[in-house]
Each structure stands twice: as structure tokens, then as C-alpha cells.
Structure 1
Amino acid sequence: MGLDSDKKKLMSSRYKINNSSSEYLLEEEKDLEEGSGVEKMKNKGGQYDGQLKYGSNDSLLPGMYDDVALICLSWVCRFDYASLSCLNTRFNFLMKSGYLYELRKQLGVVEHWVYMVSDPRGWEGFDPTRKKWMRLPKIPCDECFNHADKESLAVGSELLVFGRELFEFAIWKYSLVRGLWVKCEGMNHPRCLFGSGTLGSIAIVAGGSDQNGNILKSAELYDSSTGKWTMLPNMHSPRRLCSGFFMDGKFYVIGGMTSPNDSLTCGEEFDLKTKKWRKIDGMYPNVNRAAQAPPLVAVVSDELYAVEYLSNMVKKYDKEKNSWDVLGRLPVRADSSNGWGLAFKACGERLLVVGGQRGPEGEAIVLNSWTPKSGVKDGILDWKVLGIKEHAGVFVYNCAVMGC
């Protein structure tokens, strides 16, 4: 996308941006409308005619109108935001306002970062482009939450971590904009061991178990722009230890168990437009047991891929035939731990496998990636090492990929 087309796209929606997407320009215009602000600007050689304009000393990038400068800044790597915020007060306010994330969304600028936790030191983020690691602040939770099993998902510019505190389920969210953890509003039906998927700024969780161990068939939608949970219609079957994902704009749930001894091979599809669930018999024929991890699935370019634990093979789902085709072998073993401790995620146009290995220098977490567009050659997938985290254990407790 060229700069000219980006500018036209921004100009066509500028009123919307200024009045709803961010407080950044609103705050700047408010300052300018005050008499002292206008006079100060005129004294610096700027001009003010009711629109946001700056003199050379006031602009974000000297000699460039702010709306053009903001387009340029929206293409800057997110890893550099911390450095930019240290330049001056205006850049600091810009980075903390969240304005650039809204602008990136409108311009279609997306970077995928991997967030994971594999040792007691807490969550870390990995930038696949810069090959850089970043440690997140510790979650200000109680000790019960720290040591309990947790689940996670990335939605919008937030990382949500689900777990259990001393007396109830709790959700903590890390805001990429604010750079800190805050308590998230709880679900209408608190749960664990659920299936989940994200699409832009929304996420859906379905099934799972409540605090009393009852298996649920309810589902809820989370909107990261409001921080609110909304109930959705119930699924056809209750299920726990299931997996969820979005494909072709619809939400799916596959696998799981409907009772301590009964596994499900059917899947369910939720249409956001009609608000109805559709049952798909035989969508996931690999029967999983209570000792096994939920299905390891990922969607790249609206195509569904899964890991078969016992054979360590990657499979692809055929939508028309409702069947699975074997593609090739994983770069790590999943059978030794029944799928636990391994992450299988979509990272842009790549499939990502995150798992531990033991080498001469000790334990490490290795991020392997494969691009489906590269194809399969003689039953071999061309896995490439995307990153390595040394001395980080060999078990991935939680992993999520955020694209914003």
C-alpha cells in the first residue's frame, strides 16, 4: 500500500478518527482552541484556522503535517514504540493514547507478536521481525492464580489470561497501549477448559467447566473495545477440553468431552450474522481423552490445520469433504506428553510450533514456523527456526499470538 493511497484512506475517515478512534487529536485540538494555545502557536510561526496545523517547531516530524506524519509513524515497528515515547512529551502522549493502533487498523498495518509463559518469571513477548524478546510486567494477582492452571488468548491489543484465584475464577488482561496488567470484567458464566477464538477486536469462548465441575454448552463474546462480555446462544452439546477458532468469518468449536468418559467427534459452527449454531458430524474424528490436551489447531488464510498427537503429524482439513489430509511431520514430538506443553498457532501467513528441547547448553524453547504457501515436498514440511529462548524450560504453559 503506497503513501498516497494511505493518505486518501485516512482523509476519507479523518472525522471518524478524530471523534471516536482516539483521544489524541481531540486533546491536541482542545489545547489549540484555548486562547493561550493559539497565541503560542502563532508566535512560533504556525497558523490556526480551526483545523489541526502546526508550525515547524510543533509538528511531530518537522516540515510535515501531522496527518501525514502519523501515517508514516503507523508503519514503524511496534518494538520501537518505547523508544519513540522517550523523544518528547508529544510522542509520549501519542504512544500512550492508543491512537496509532487505531490508525494501523484502518490502514491494514499488522505485526504478529508471540506471547508465552514457560517458567515462573512470567510472560514474555517475541517480535519475529526483529528477533527480539521482551519481558512483560508480573501479573499483580494472588499466589493462587500464579500456581493454578491458566488459559490465554490475544484479542485486539490485549492479552487475556484466565485462571483461578483463591475464591473464584479471574481474568487479567495486559494492555499493549498502557503497558500494564488490569483486572478484566468477569464472564457471565465463569469457566475453564473452554474453546476460544479471536477475530480482530472480538473473541468468543464456548463450553468448558464451571467452578463446580459442570460441563457447559454456553458461549460468550468479548469485545475488547468496550471490555464487556455478551451471552450468545447455547451450543448443541456441552463440551470441555475443546478448541475454538475463526474460519471464513465464522466461529467453530471442535473436540472435547461431553462427560468424563465421552468424547465428541462432531464440531459446531456459529454464524455471527444469524446467531445460530450448526452441528457438523465427524468434523474432528481424533477422539481425545481426559489425559490429552485439547485439539491443537490453527487457521492460516482461512484453512484449518491440526496436530495429531500420536503420530506427530500435521493435517489439513478439507472443508468440502469434511475430512483430514496428512501433510507432514512436526519439528518436535507431541506424543510424549499427550500434546501438553506444546503450542500450535497461526502467526500471520505462517504456522507456528512452540516447544521445548534439551541441548548441550541446557533447556530452551524453540519457535519453528512453516508457510503453507511454500507447499509440501515429498511429504516434508520446510520448518524454519524463527526464534530460540535459552534457559526457559521445556514446557510451554500458555501461548498466544497477537496481530495489531
Structure 2
Amino acid sequence: MTKKRRVDFSLNEDGKKVKINTREGVNDGSSRHGPNDSLLPGLIDDVALNCLAWVSRSDYASLSCINKRYNKLISSGYLYGLRKELGAVEHSVYLVCDPRGWEAFDPNVNRWISLPRIPCDECFNHADKESLAVGCELLVFGRELMEFAIWKYSLVLQGWVKCQGMNRPRCLFGSGSAGSIAIVAGGSDKNGNVLKSAELYDSSSGTWELLPNMHTARRLCSGFFMDGKFYVIGGMSSPTVSLSCGEEYDLKTRSWRKIEGMYPYVNGAAQAPPLVAVVDNQLYAVEHLTNMVKKYDKEKNTWDELGRLPVRADSSNGWGLAFKACGEKLLVVGGQRGPEGEAVVLNSWCPKSGVTNSTIDWKILGVKEHVGVFVYNCAVMGC
């Protein structure tokens, strides 16, 4: 005889934390256990959960329709955490290039999904915004009529809720995420002051924590995680001073280290924040004036030229273009005009495939037709 564990799932009142109820019984091979006694008949729930975690996220909606227990399992979000433990992460691209709002692209099934509209005021709708994917959430930062605001889209709940505000609200900051945490650094406050402060967001609790200040105040900068540390590079310390230095934050020692000349591609206030992405703990960037992709040499603190972008970045000083990491691939998202009208194209390249004769072999990952060619916001979620 073997012990058989049944697991039940439910959401707490805040819709975040999962309450797991377990009951143990004895499986002696008799027929007194009904066919609905386990998630997958013939398997204990622990094994069944591992099997279900490997099911594609695109099938979760169908799974939730099987019965009430499956519906509770999917809506609890428990499988998303289990997927990460097992390495079953899938990536989705979230972007907005049209006034109608956010779109999500699932490259695993080549499908676009329109997200619900953010239930914000009109000021937030029309103001400049920044975005960041962390855990199973998409955070959108902007300004409402009276103050800065953050709205978050929960992949689990399939809807928008207001996020707790930062300790020091800001815009035009650098940011990056790793697993369930994210860090924002620098930016400007509501009075236009350039900040050197930084904060850590924990998606599991929905809270913000102030970190030690950077050495240099900066705005219009970019952030990323690499080798378990957070970096911020580029930006401006004033309307006329561009920064070529970077800073490294060690989460263990809670200290910043300044790195001179880490990002030399500065071109004044008109340029976009540095277009950077990290794949396999290697840093890549776009030099928008030449439309070239470059790779950072950590030992020499220099950049090596790889090849050209599949779209032009020089015509708009790097604005309206997204350069992101999507699993093991680099992703370039940009608009194009053609006989069929305007469209946004997602181009991808796996650095492991190498470069041939200074040429990067970009592949088209997806196309969104009949939208604007300017990419206002873009984030990649791995969940």
C-alpha cells in the first residue's frame, strides 16, 4: 500500500498568495477512490502537478474548463512557480504600438492576444510610459492627473490592478528584472530632479524596498541583470551632460561600483536610453548611429562589433525600437511600411549560432499588421 496525497488550491483575498490544502490517504489498490480523486487518474498529485507544469501555457485556458478543481489550480498561479523550478519557462512579448493598447505575442503558438484596457484615467493613457516584466507580472509606469502611478497586468489573474507605488516615485529610470525581483535606478522625480536613488520590487509580495544610492544621479539610462548583479549604464546627469560610465550593484554586499567608460556611445539629449539586452550572461547593445549590434567584453571593458540590425535605428536616434532578450535569443522589434500597410516585425537571432562574415542571420519571429510603426513600450515575460 502507498500513501496518496490530494492537493487543493485557492487564492488568498489579495489574489497573490496561494493557499495549498493537502490530504493524505492510503491507496491499497481498491476501487474506493473515485476517478476524480486525483488531478490525473492513476498518478499521485505530486507527479500529476509535475506533468501539468510542462503543458504549454497556451493550453491553460482549456485546462481550466475541465472541472472546478482544474480551474482552481490554474487560477491559483501555483503552476507558474512550479514551471520555473522545473525549467519549463516560456517567453511572451508584450508591446504597445497602437492607441488601442497592449498586445501580447506568444511565439510558441504564433498567436497575438489583445490585453484588456488599463482602467486608468485619461492622463495616464496619453502620458509617456515605461514598462517592465517581472515574475508573472507586467508593470506599466506612467503619470495620472495628480501623481505617478503603476499599473500591473497579472498573467495569473488575466487583468490589471493598481500596483503599490515606489518609495520615491520617478520616471525615465533604468530597470531590469531577474526572476521575481526587479530593480529601478535613477530617473526624474515629479519636479524634474535627477535621482541617484534605486529601489527593489518583489513581485511575490508586491512591495518596494529602497536600496543604497548610486554614485551618480542619472536619467534616460538603462538597466539589466548579468552574472547575478544589477547594472545601470548611460543616461544623463543634466540636460546637457551625457554619461558614459556604468554602475554595478552587488545584491549580497548591497554596494555600488562605478565602471568608467562602460557605455561610450553617447550622443546628447536627443538619443533614446541605451538599447541593451543580456543573453546567457553576455551583454549586447545597439549603436544606433551606425545600426550595428555590439557585444561587451567584460575583461577589457570594450565593445566588439558583430553585425547590422535588421531595421534602422539611426533615423529616430534609437526611439521607437525595442531591443530585448527573449530566452536564448536577441529580439529586435521595429516597424516597417510596405504594400500591405504598416506593421511591426519581431526579428530574432540566437548568439550561439554565431556571425558569418560580419552578418547576423536574423529570423522573423512574428508580425503584427495594421498597427503603428513606432514601438512605444516593449517587455518580455518568462513564465
TM-score bin (small chain):
over 0.9
Is 1:23 the counterpart of 2:23? The answer is no
Is 1:60 the counterpart of 2:39? The answer is yes
Written as runs of structure 1 = structure 2, the 5 A alignment for 1:241-280 is 241-280=220-259
Judged with a 3 Å threshold, the aligned counterparts in structure 2 of structure 1 residues 22 and 142 are, in CA distance, closer, same or farther, namely closer
TM-score (norm 1): 0.88
**Deviation at residue 44 of structure 1 after TM alignment:** 7.7
Unaligned runs of 5+ in 2: none
Amino acid paired to 2:32:
G
Q: Aligned partners of 2:173, 2:40: CA distance in 1, in Å?
A: 47
1:138 to 117, 127, 130: 117
Is 1:304 the counterpart of 2:283? The answer is yes
2:142 is aligned to 163
**Deviation at residue 62 of structure 1 after TM alignment:** 2.2
Written as runs of structure 1 = structure 2, the 5 A alignment for 1:108-257 is 108-257=87-236
TM-score (norm 2): 0.93
Question: Contact between 1:218 and 1:232, CA under 8 Å: does it hold in 2?
Answer: yes
Q: Aligned partners of 1:132, 1:363: CA distance in 2, in Å?
A: 19
Bigger proportion of residues as strand: 2
Question: Contact between 1:119 and 1:392, CA under 8 Å: does it hold in 2?
Answer: yes
Aligned residues: 370
1:50 is aligned to none
Cα deviation code 1:154-191 (max 9, x no counterpart): 00000000000001000000011111100000000000
2:332 to 353, 365, 369: 353
**Deviation at residue 24 of structure 1 after TM alignment:** 5.3
Amino acid paired to 1:393:
G
Question: Contact between 1:205 and 1:244, CA under 8 Å: does it hold in 2?
Answer: yes
SS at match of 1:25: strand
RMSD: 2.1
Cα deviation code 1:31-76 (max 9, x no counterpart): x69xxxx9xxxx9822xxxxxxxx3233222222221111111011
Unaligned runs of 5+ in 1: 1-10, 47-54
Q: Aligned partners of 1:307, 1:226: CA distance in 2, in Å?
A: 35
Amino acid paired to 1:307:
V
Judged with a 3 Å threshold, the aligned counterparts in structure 2 of structure 1 residues 151 and 291 are, in CA distance, closer, same or farther, namely same
Cα deviation code 1:71-113 (max 9, x no counterpart): 1110111111111111111111110001101211221221111
2:377 is aligned to 398
SS at match of 1:270: strand
**Deviation at residue 208 of structure 1 after TM alignment:** 0.2
Q: Aligned partners of 1:147, 1:44: CA distance in 2, in Å?
A: 62
**Deviation at residue 317 of structure 1 after TM alignment:** 0.4
Q: Aligned partners of 2:233, 2:172: CA distance in 1, in Å?
A: 13
Q: Aligned partners of 1:81, 1:342: CA distance in 2, in Å?
A: 31
Q: Aligned partners of 2:40, 2:179: CA distance in 1, in Å?
A: 30
Amino acid paired to 1:25:
I
Bigger proportion of residues as helix: 1
Amino acid paired to 1:163:
G
Amino acid paired to 1:113:
S
Is 1:385 the counterpart of 2:372? The answer is no
SS at match of 1:292: coil
Amino acid paired to 1:105:
K
- Larger displacement relative to structure 2 (81-90 or 135-144): 81-90
Is 1:375 the counterpart of 2:354? The answer is yes
Amino acid paired to 1:339:
G
Written as runs of structure 1 = structure 2, the 5 A alignment for 1:37-48 is 45-46=32-33
Amino acid paired to 2:264:
P
Identity of aligned residues (%): 76
SS at match of 2:237: strand
